[in-house]
Protein backbone atom coordinates (compact mmCIF):
# COMPACT_ATOMS: atom_id res chain seq x y z
CA UNK A 1 0.00 0.00 0.00
CA UNK A 2 1.09 3.53 -0.77
CA UNK A 3 -0.33 6.65 0.88
CA UNK A 4 -0.36 9.91 -1.09
CA UNK A 5 -1.24 13.36 0.32
CA UNK A 6 -2.77 16.19 -1.68
CA UNK A 7 -1.84 19.87 -1.09
CA UNK A 8 -4.71 20.20 1.43
CA UNK A 9 -3.20 17.40 3.53
CA UNK A 10 -5.87 14.82 2.66
CA UNK A 11 -4.46 11.38 2.03
CA UNK A 12 -5.51 8.53 -0.18
CA UNK A 13 -4.22 5.00 0.03
CA UNK A 14 -3.46 2.98 -3.08
CA UNK A 15 -3.32 -0.80 -3.13
CA UNK A 16 -1.31 -2.58 -5.83
CA UNK A 17 -1.10 -6.20 -6.94
CA UNK A 18 2.09 -8.27 -7.15
CA UNK A 19 2.86 -6.77 -10.60
CA UNK A 20 2.67 -3.26 -9.14
CA UNK A 21 -0.63 -2.46 -10.88
CA UNK A 22 -3.15 -0.26 -9.08
CA UNK A 23 -6.11 -2.38 -7.92
CA UNK A 24 -7.82 -0.08 -5.43
CA UNK A 25 -7.85 3.31 -3.79
CA UNK A 26 -9.35 4.65 -0.56
CA UNK A 27 -9.80 8.29 0.42
CA UNK A 28 -8.65 9.85 3.70
CA UNK A 29 -11.83 8.64 5.46
CA UNK A 30 -11.14 5.03 4.51
CA UNK A 31 -13.97 4.92 1.96
CA UNK A 32 -13.20 2.99 -1.20
CA UNK A 33 -13.11 5.39 -4.15
CA UNK A 34 -11.82 3.18 -6.95
CA UNK A 35 -11.45 -0.49 -7.83
CA UNK A 36 -9.45 -1.62 -10.86
CA UNK A 37 -9.77 -5.00 -12.56
CA UNK A 38 -7.33 -6.20 -15.23
CA UNK A 39 -8.69 -8.22 -18.14
CA UNK A 40 -5.46 -8.90 -20.05
CA UNK A 41 -4.33 -7.53 -23.38
CA UNK A 42 -4.14 -3.98 -22.00
CA UNK A 43 -7.81 -3.89 -20.95
CA UNK A 44 -8.99 -2.89 -17.51
CA UNK A 45 -12.22 -1.98 -15.77
CA UNK A 46 -12.37 0.93 -13.30
CA UNK A 47 -15.28 1.06 -10.87
CA UNK A 48 -15.88 4.20 -8.81
CA UNK A 49 -17.47 4.46 -5.36
CA UNK A 50 -20.96 4.75 -6.91
CA UNK A 51 -20.54 1.56 -8.94
CA UNK A 52 -20.03 3.31 -12.28
CA UNK A 53 -17.66 1.40 -14.54
CA UNK A 54 -15.27 2.68 -17.18
CA UNK A 55 -13.35 0.37 -19.50
CA UNK A 56 -9.88 1.34 -20.67
CA UNK A 57 -7.71 -0.25 -23.32
CA UNK A 58 -3.96 0.35 -23.54
CA UNK A 59 -1.30 -0.50 -26.10
CA UNK A 60 1.98 -2.30 -25.38
CA UNK A 61 3.56 1.04 -24.31
CA UNK A 62 0.71 1.62 -21.80
CA UNK A 63 -0.78 4.46 -23.87
CA UNK A 64 -4.53 4.78 -23.45
CA UNK A 65 -6.06 3.88 -26.85
CA UNK A 66 -9.77 3.63 -26.02
CA UNK A 67 -12.03 4.54 -23.10
CA UNK A 68 -15.66 3.51 -22.76
CA UNK A 69 -17.42 5.69 -20.18
CA UNK A 70 -20.26 4.50 -17.89
CA UNK A 71 -22.85 5.73 -20.43
CA UNK A 72 -21.22 3.72 -23.24
CA UNK A 73 -19.55 6.71 -24.92
CA UNK A 74 -16.28 5.84 -26.64
CA UNK A 75 -13.18 8.06 -26.77
CA UNK A 76 -10.29 6.90 -28.95
CA UNK A 77 -6.64 8.02 -28.84
CA UNK A 78 -3.67 7.61 -31.20
CA UNK A 79 -0.01 8.52 -30.67
CA UNK A 80 3.15 9.45 -32.55
CA UNK A 81 6.35 7.41 -32.37
CA UNK A 82 7.39 9.41 -29.26
CA UNK A 83 4.24 8.31 -27.42
CA UNK A 84 2.63 11.77 -27.63
CA UNK A 85 -1.09 11.96 -28.44
CA UNK A 86 -1.83 13.09 -32.01
CA UNK A 87 -5.54 12.33 -32.42
CA UNK A 88 -8.37 12.13 -29.91
CA UNK A 89 -11.96 11.44 -30.94
CA UNK A 90 -14.43 11.83 -28.09
CA UNK A 91 -17.78 10.18 -27.39
CA UNK A 92 -19.59 12.88 -29.42
CA UNK A 93 -17.32 12.11 -32.41
CA UNK A 94 -15.53 15.45 -32.03
CA UNK A 95 -11.91 15.11 -33.15
CA UNK A 96 -8.85 16.84 -31.73
CA UNK A 97 -5.58 16.77 -33.68
CA UNK A 98 -2.23 17.68 -32.14
CA UNK A 99 0.85 18.57 -34.22
CA UNK A 100 4.38 18.62 -32.83
CA UNK A 101 7.73 20.23 -33.62
CA UNK A 102 10.22 18.28 -35.78
CA UNK A 103 11.56 16.45 -32.71
CA UNK A 104 8.01 15.29 -31.97
CA UNK A 105 8.08 16.49 -28.38
CA UNK A 106 6.64 20.04 -28.20
CA UNK A 107 3.09 20.71 -29.39
CA UNK A 108 2.91 23.34 -32.15
CA UNK A 109 -0.80 23.24 -32.95
CA UNK A 110 -3.99 21.85 -31.42
CA UNK A 111 -7.12 21.69 -33.57
CA UNK A 112 -10.34 21.02 -31.65
CA UNK A 113 -13.64 19.98 -33.27
CA UNK A 114 -11.63 19.30 -36.42
CA UNK A 115 -13.65 19.70 -39.61
CA UNK A 116 -16.73 21.14 -37.88
CA UNK A 117 -18.22 24.64 -37.73
CA UNK A 118 -16.96 24.83 -34.13
CA UNK A 119 -13.34 24.12 -35.08
CA UNK A 120 -10.72 26.04 -33.09
CA UNK A 121 -6.98 26.10 -33.74
CA UNK A 122 -4.41 26.96 -31.09
CA UNK A 123 -0.84 27.52 -32.29
CA UNK A 124 2.24 27.45 -30.07
CA UNK A 125 5.57 29.11 -30.86
CA UNK A 126 8.74 28.54 -28.88
CA UNK A 127 11.88 30.59 -28.53
CA UNK A 128 15.27 29.55 -27.27
CA UNK A 129 16.01 30.94 -23.85
CA UNK A 130 19.28 32.83 -23.62
CA UNK A 131 21.68 31.60 -20.97
Answer yes or no: is pLDDT of 95 > 70: yes
Answer yes or no: is pLDDT of 131 > 70: no
Which of 91, 30, 22 lies closest to 62 in space, CA to CA? 22
The answer as to whether 60 is a domain residue is: no
For the chain, give the percent of residues with pLDDT over 90: 58
Same domain, 43 and 87: no
CA 27 to each of CA 12, 36, 55, 61: distance values in angstroms, whole numbers, following the listed order: 4, 15, 22, 29
Same domain, 89 and 122: yes
Domain containing 94 equals 73-126
Amino acid sequence: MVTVKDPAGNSRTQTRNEEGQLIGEQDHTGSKTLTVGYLGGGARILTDADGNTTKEYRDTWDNLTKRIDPEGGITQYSYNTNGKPINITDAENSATAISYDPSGSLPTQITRAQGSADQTVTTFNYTTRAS
